[in-house]
Structure formats: C-alpha cells, structure tokens
Structure 1
Amino acid sequence: MRIGLLGTGPWATAAHAPALQEHPDLDFTGVWGRRPEAAGELAERHGTRAYADVDALLADVDAVAVALPPSVQADLAVRAARAGCHLLLDKPVATTVGQARAVVDAVRAARVASVVFFTTRFVPGSAAWIDEQAKAGDWFTARAQWLGAVFSDDGHPFATPWRREKGALWDVGPHALSVLLPVLGDVRRVAAAVPGPLDTVQLVLDHEGGASSTLTLSLTAPPAACGAEVELRGASGVTHLPDGSEGAVASLRRAGDALLAAARTGTPHPCDAAFGLRVTEILVEAEHLLSGGADTD
C-alpha cells in the first residue's frame, strides 16, 4: 500500500515517519507539510519525496497517515477520503462534533478504511487486557488517571499550540476513553466535569453497562507523578491495565497493520473514524460542563 504522511511536527518526526519507513507492507511514498522546508528535511531523512501540493500527494497514494492538529486533520481527512485514500488518523479526530462527523460521512461515502491511533489499543499486552475485561463484564466501577508533564517540563516538544489551547481533556482524554468504552460500554452521560489545577480536569462518567468511571487528566503534573493507570473493580475482583512501555513507533506499525487489514477485508476496525467521532462527542459534552454549561440530561 502506497502511503503518504501529512504533517512534519514533533509527532510526525518522532513516530509517524519512522513507523511508515520501517513497515514492510507500506510504501512510504511522500510527505506534505504546511512548512515546505520541514517537509523537505523529513522526506530526505527517510528517503522519500516532499510534495508541495497536498492534492498531488493524494493522487499518488492509496492511504495517508495524518500527524496534524485536530482541526487541520479533520478537513484534510475529508479531502483525502474523497480522493479515495484510506486514513490512518491521530486522536482526537477533531475537536468539534461537526468536523468529526464530516470525516465519518466522507469515509462512508468513499468506502475507504479508517483507523484512529489510540496508542494503548495497539500495544499487545494492553489490547489483550482490554479484550479480556470486556468479555468478563459485570464491572462496578473504574478509575483512570492519565497524567503528563508536557506543560511542566520547559521546552517539551509536544507543548504545541493546539495542546495549550485544548489541554489534557483533549490530548490524553481520548486515551482514557479508548480503554474504558470497550470495557464498560458507551457513555450515557458525563455526570460531572470539574477543573483542577491548571489544565487538570476530573470527569465522572455514567456507562451503558451500568458502571461508573472517574477520570483524572492532566498535562501539568509534576514529572515524578506522571503515568497512566486504569483500575477496574467488579464481580471478578480488581484488575489494572498492564504497563505499556513500548515506544510509539512499534504501536504505529501495528496501526498500519490494522489499516491494511481493514482495507483488504472491508471490515471496520474497532478504532475507526466512527469510534473517533463518539470520543469527540463525549469530550465536547465534558467541555460544555467545564465551561459552566448545565447538564442536559
């Protein structure tokens, strides 16, 4: 499968480009970026071509991987789907329901495959644990903490403008939801959303399966306090998400495998654009409550 990369920032450089270059069944065809000089440098580093025109790249490939801010990603994903390209997207798909729904509509209309890269879902040990707990069922409650130090670490490469604007809710919130939803069921409502220190937020979710969950999300945690943790409690006892310590490049290669399989079989992947839309809907509901909006339930 010929695949192009849209984006030249820290995430594209550190994860996407190496994963695409190393994947044995993907032909890393080219790079497009909003900064042509950065696209040229990244393409040269990985032995591929820089494109000045995004539509020219879309015409030359079967798929695209996107490593861009969500609002930019959504519009280009629609454009790529309409050009017949399969989509390897980053989370969140978008930060508005309208944009996320437009991506889903374009994917369905073009009958292309889509995979959204929720990192934990592509780590073998974590993915197996999620499947096992979903089958076990009968969970009473869950607690998730996703704490990073992006904003407490001076000069952190991922302290990008969109993360500074949207904070932990939108950056690490999707990771937590990608674990909780397949285990506890969809979210019936965001029961509470409370701001904490700086960009920290705390959520209480009511799930269709009858369980509740609490989430603590932050990008301004002290470095010594950082980490991701999920605990489930129910009839089966207590269990914790295993440590997923492998790098993003290996996980992205598996996401590439998932895209190839979805394109080949026509069977949607569980982390497709429609799942990305649902995550966006939940986060928009939480954001509404955080901004002082009333619970609409």
Structure 2
Amino acid sequence: MRIGLLGTGPWADRAHAPALSRHPELDFAGVWGRRPDAAAELAGRHGTRAYADVDALLADVDAVAVALPPAVQAPLAVRAARAGRHLLLDKPLAVTPEEGRAVTAAVRESGVASVVFFTARFHPGTEAWIGEQAERGDWFTARAQWLGSVFSGDSPYAASPWRREKGALWDVGPHALSVLLPVLGDVRRVAAATHGPGDTVHAVLDHAGGASSVLTLSLTAPPAAAGVAVELRGEAGVTLLPEGAEGPVPALVRAADALLTAVRSGRPHPCDAGFGLRVTEILAAVQARLDGDRGEDGTPGRGTPAAVRSADPAAGPTAHRAG
C-alpha cells in the first residue's frame, strides 16, 4: 500500500517517518508539509519524495498518515477521505466535535478505513491488560494520572504551539480516555473539572458501566514527578496498568498493521475515527466545564455536572463505541 505522510514536525520526524520507512508492507511514497524545506529534508533522509502540493500527493497514494496539529489534521483528513484515501490519524482527532463529525462523515461516505493512533492501544501488553479488565466488568472506580514534563523539561515538543494553547487535556487526555473507555464504558457525564498548577487538569467522569474515574493530566509536571499510572478498583481488588518500555515507532508500525487489516477485512478497528470522535466529545465536555467554572475574574467557580452527548448521532455505532 502506497502511503504518504502529512507533516514534518518533531512527531513526524521521530515517530511517523521511521515507522512508515520500516514497515514491510508499506511503500512510503512521499511527504507533504506546510514548510517545503522541512518536507524536502525529511523526505531526503528517508529516500522518498517531497510534495509541494497536498492534492498531488493524494493523487499518488492509497493512504495517508497525518502528523499535524488537530485543527490542521481534521480538514485534511476530510479532504483525503473524500479522495478515497485510507487514514492513519493522530490523537486528538479534532479539537471540536463539529470538526470530528466532519471527519467521520467523510470516512463513512467514502468507505475508507481509518485508525487513530492512541499510543497505548498499540502496545501489546497494554492492550492485553485492557482486554482482561474489560472482561471482568466489576470495577467500582479508577484513577488515571498522565503527567508529562513537556513544558518544564527538555522536550522536543516544547515549542509546539497547539500544545501550548490546548494543554494537557487535549494532548495526554486522549491517552487516558483510550485506556479507560474500553474498561469502564462510555462517559455519561463530566461530574467535575478543575484546573491545577500550570496546565494541570483534574476531571471526574461518570461511566455508563456505573463506575467513576478521576483523571489528572499535565504537561507541566516537574520532570521527577512525570509518569503514567492507571489504577482500577473493584470486586476483584486492585490492578495497575503495566508499564510500557517501547517507544512510539513500534506502536506506530502496529497501528499501520491495524489499518492494513481494516482495509483488507472491511471491518472497522476499535480505534477508528468514530472512537476518535467520541474522545473529542468527552474532552470538549471537560473543556466546557473548565471554561464554565471560571468566573469573569478568571477564578475557579462551581458548575453543574455536564452530560456528554454524541455530536454525530448519524455516524453509526462507531461514534459511541468505547473502543
């Protein structure tokens, strides 16, 4: 399958391009970026072609991988789907439910396959753990801490404008939800949300399975405090998400495998665009609580729990699937 890459930033350089280059069943056909010089440099290092025009790239490939900010990704994903190109997308799918709905509509209407790259979901140990806990189905509560030091440490992503604007909720929040939703079920309402130090966000979620979860998300944690922890408590006791030692490249190779399987089988992957839309809807509900709980002087206030409804009831079952 001929695949092109949209994006030339650090994530495209460190994760997408190496994964596409090494995949045995992909022909890495070209790179397009908003900075032509960066596209030429990245393409040169991987022995492929730089495209100055995105539509020219779309005309030459069967699929695209997208490593761009979500507000840029969404309209380009619509464009690619309407051209009949399969989609390997990044999280978050979009930063508004309306943009996410446009992507899922284009995917549905064109019949292309889609996979959204939630890194943890493509680590075999994590996916096996999620499956085991989902089968139990007796969880009472959960907590998920996704703490990064992107803005307080030495990270190649510290200069990312969209991360600085949207913060941890939209950058690492999708990872936390991608693990919790398959185990605890869909989110019915955001029971509470508040700001912490830096860009830190705390959110309490009410799940369809009856459990509640607490999320703590940050990109401004001290480097010594950074890390990921997910804990479930229920009738069977306590279980923790196993630590993953792999980097993003092997996980992206597996995500490409998943896209190929979806193309060949015609069956949607659990992390398709519909699931990506549902994550976007939940994040938007948390964001609304955060925005609504700040008074005119910017100080935190109190609001009522916010129900989380699908913005795309016509998108079919994938818009509501928990992954």
1:229 aligns with 2:235: no
**Counterpart residue number, 1:58:** 58
1:240 shift after superposition: 0.5
* C-alpha RMSD over aligned residues: 0.8
2:292 is paired with a residue whose SS is coil
| TM-superposed deviation, 1:235 | 1.0
Structure 1 stretches of at least 4 aligned residues deviating more than 3 Å after TM superposition:
293-297
Percent of pairs with identical residues: 76
SS in structure 1 opposite 2:213?
A: strand
Matches within 5 A, 1:115-264: 115-154=115-154, 156-159=155-158, 160-264=160-264
Distance 1:152 1:245 in 2: 22
In structure 2, distance between residues paired with 1:161 and 1:153: 16
Distance in 2 between the 1:184 and 1:124 partners? 20
Deviation per CA, 1:117-172: give whole Å up to 9, x if none: 00000000000000110011110000100000001025x22120000000000000
Q: Which residue of 1 aligns with 2:312?
A: none
Partner of 2:87 in structure 1?
A: 87
Residue number in structure 1 paired with 2:37: 37
TM-score (norm 2): 0.91
Cα distance in structure 2, aligned partners of 1:124 and 1:177: 17
Alpha-carbon deviation of 1:292?
Answer: 1.7
How far apart in 1 are the matches of 2:153 and 2:130? Answer: 31
Post-superposition offset of 1:114:
0.3
Query: Which region of structure 1 is more displaced relative to structure 2, 4-13 or 234-243?
Result: 234-243
Task: Give the 3-state SS of the residue equivalent to 1:191 in structure 2.
Answer: strand
Partner Cα separation in structure 2 for residue 42 and residue 278 of structure 1? 33
Q: Which runs of 5+ in 2 are unaligned?
A: 294-302, 308-323
How far the C-alpha of 1:275 sits from its partner, in A, is 0.3
Q: Distance in 1 between matches of 2:184 and 2:119?
A: 19
Q: Deviations over 1:176-217 (max 9, x none)?
A: 000000000000001000100010000000000000000000
Alignment-mate amino acid for residue 131 of structure 2: D
Given the two structures, how large is their TM-score scaled by the length of structure 1? 0.99
Q: State the AA in 1 paired with 2:175.
A: H
Q: How many residues align?
A: 296
Give the letter aligned to residue 157 of structure 1: P
For the residues of structure 2 that align with 1:81 and 1:238, how far apart are their CA atoms? Answer: 43
2:10 paired residue number? 10
